[in-house]
Chain A
Amino acid sequence: MDKRLVMVMGKGGTGKTTIAAALGLAAARAGKRTVVVEVAEQQRLAAMFGVRPTDRHDEVELAPGLFGLSIAPSRAMEEWLRHQLKSGTLAGLLGGSRIFQLLTAAAPGVSELVTMGKIWDLAQLQRRTGGSVFDLAIVDAPATGHGLALLSAPGTFARIARTGPIARQARQIEEFTRNRAATAILAAALPEEMPVAETIDLEGRLADQSLALDAIVVNALYPERFDSDESARLAALDGRGSDAARAAVVAALSEHRRAAGQRSQVARLGEESRAPLVTLPHLFAPELGRDELETLSELLEESL
């Protein structure tokens, strides 16, 4: 929380958006002006907070002190060109030229690079674009592989360009994301076989780039409702009772088995990864809205 940038990474469907939003709420409560950033033109935060999303490429207030922003790579590119060329006219000329559009559309990694540029800018105390300043930027990153590609894009382009303005800026961004005093990397995980495997894989691939996870948030952990005696008593009913009662017992035992499986996955993650683990409970709410996010943010605040 004392960082300027937090990247929330991890497998798809593990609750990265939820965790980013809950962290954002906790930071805002602590008095930090915070922005939660979605990439690849996702717009899920506004809906979670019951706020109308904007078409514009700027932040909307989600809660007091908490803002949401969805980065559109095409707009991030325009901003970058404007800054780079110090002229809206020239930026429009180049950005609007067919050669440039076709090149940047076909070149892999360009949208990741300009997206990282925008993320970096949001985390600066002196905004390049002159936008308002945030104490903390939290990024809801794309799923593992693409998230890693996003994180490593500045380094890649710094090596591609070697010298000149792109190399200089890319290096500046890379240094910022590699500085552990400035940037934290979190992984979102679920207590299941494949998400755990992917989290361990993510940690290893970060290590290949000399990066490390600051924490792993294990999301949606089922409650341990039944102790072993109770589950044995339920199992011992062995089909007694009416159809409805049997179905109820089957449902309870089924959840109990899942919960036990989840706990062994948490244990496995604890053994195989080096980062500290934080767990969040499974919420049985049909949709996660503001109230659920508040609950999760309080839990995160206690444990992070």
Chain B
Amino acid sequence: MIEGWLQRKDICICAGSGGVGKTTASAAIALGMAARGKKVAVLTIDPAKRLASSLGLPELGNEERRVDADVDGELWAMMLDAKRTFDELIELHAPDDATRDAVLSNRIYQELSSAVAGSQEYMAMEKLHELHQEGRYDLLVLDTPPTRNALDFIDAPRKLSAFIDSRSLQFFTAPGFFGLKVFGRGASVIFSVMKRATGVDLLEDLSGFFRSFGDMASGFRERADGVSKLLSHSRTAFVLVTSPRTDAIDEAAFFHRRLLDAGLPFAGVVANRVHPDVREEDVAAELEELVGDDLARKVLDTLADERRLADRDRTNLAELRRRLRRRPLIEVPYLDDDIHDLDGLRRMDEYLFG
């Protein structure tokens, strides 16, 4: 089924709330498409290192690595290193060595490019854009951080463009920064209030930081626009991953609505770890005969517990189907042991692609 969703698609973005098996689903989709002859790269922007373990790779870096998966196509994987991606971007776009060094050695740049959450989102989009432009893969599969952060990464390029586009950047980089005559009274009032909130040193440093970028800002803006276009392109598919738990279902419905509102190409939902139906027949007497009263009672207790979860899953998925209207939903059952290697991913294949 997934294969149909991804026909004529270059990019598959897997989104959903935390702990629903998004990383596993991304890896299984990538592996499945590679098994069907495609050259696929799967990348994660989650700051936590999970993709490597699900692909049986001890380490992943900022470059794609070929996974030894015995497939007709090729499977590659990478883990985004935001700082290195940012550095490479500066190196690529700096008009000269002096500009490059000025940015890379700027203290604010160093802090923001490594430690801070939002830079992950920017750089993931950048990397996706870069890999897409290079065109070395038939399909790029992106594993994203939990839902609400995933929305951040969709918004990130737009926020950057808005800032660069506006006169705000000029405000900070104007040669007469401290005079600010050029911006008139309104701006100088804002400036003096801002100075009171942040202190003058920080504003000076910020000004220096923005100036160090020089003309590169407009290049970044173009790239940010390119990324926005890429996300809404008809060759991109958003796949929502969810578990059948109520909170995850609510998040999936929320994200589905946001995707549609933003006009982004939504393909369908993968519901992961669905408890299989437990039959309602009375087997007490038979079990007692087979294994004795004590053990039979324990089996029946287990059954009753599992049935409660199976019933909940069925109710929740019915509700999600109703909210999705006619959009497709794939169910992957809760498999016996948790999936964290290539064999496990292969076991998901029949449900995702079946």
Option from A99, A156, A251 in Cβ contact (under 8 Å) with B166: A99
Scoring B47, B122, B308, B312 by chain A CB atoms within 10 A of each residue's CB, the highest score goes to B47
How far, in whole Å, are A93 and B340 apart by their CA atoms in the complex? 52
How far, in whole Å, are A90 and B195 apart by their CA atoms in the complex? 12
List residues 76-93 of chain A with CB under 8 A from any CB of chain B. Answer: 81, 84-85, 90, 93
Option from A13, A100, A102 in Cβ contact (under 8 Å) with B162: A102
B159 within 8 A of A: yes
Which residues of the other chain, A, contact B187 by a CB distance below 8 angstroms?
A: 99
A302 within 8 A of B: no
Binds A, one of B16-24, B69-77, B322-330: B16-24
* B71-113 to A contact mask, C-beta < 8 Å, 1/0: 0000000000000000000000000000000000001100110
Chain B binding surface, main DSSP class: helix
Chain A binding surface, main DSSP class: helix
How far, in whole Å, are A146 and B121 apart by their CA atoms in the complex? 11
Which residues of the other chain, B, contact A241 by a CB distance below 8 angstroms?
A: 283, 286-287, 290
Q: Are B146 and A143 in contact (CB under 8 A)?
A: yes
B200 within 8 A of A: yes
How far, in whole Å, are A90 and B191 apart by their CA atoms in the complex? 11
If A81-B197, A108-B122, A164-B199 touch, whether A251 touches B303 (CB-CB below 8 Å) is yes
If A103-B163, A258-B336 touch, whether A11 touches B201 (CB-CB below 8 Å) is no
Option from A99, A153, A165, A194 in Cβ contact (under 8 Å) with B54: A194
Q: List residues of chain A with CB under 8 Å of any chain B CB.
A: 11-14, 40-42, 44, 81, 84-85, 90, 93-94, 97-100, 102-103, 105-109, 111-112, 142-146, 148-150, 152-153, 155-157, 159-167, 190, 192-195, 197-198, 201-202, 225-226, 230, 233-234, 237, 240-242, 244-245, 247-249, 251-252, 254-255, 257-258, 261, 284-287
Complex A-B, nearest 7 residue pairs according to Cβ-Cβ distance, in ascending order = A13-B19, A12-B18, A164-B199, A145-B47, A108-B118, A149-B117, A109-B116
Q: List residues of chain B with CB under 8 Å of any chain A CB.
A: 17-20, 23-24, 46-50, 53-54, 107-108, 111-112, 115-122, 145-146, 148-149, 159-160, 162-164, 166-168, 171-172, 187, 189-190, 193-194, 196-202, 205, 243, 246-248, 276, 278-279, 281, 283, 286-287, 290-291, 295, 298-303, 305-306, 308-309, 311-312, 336-338, 340
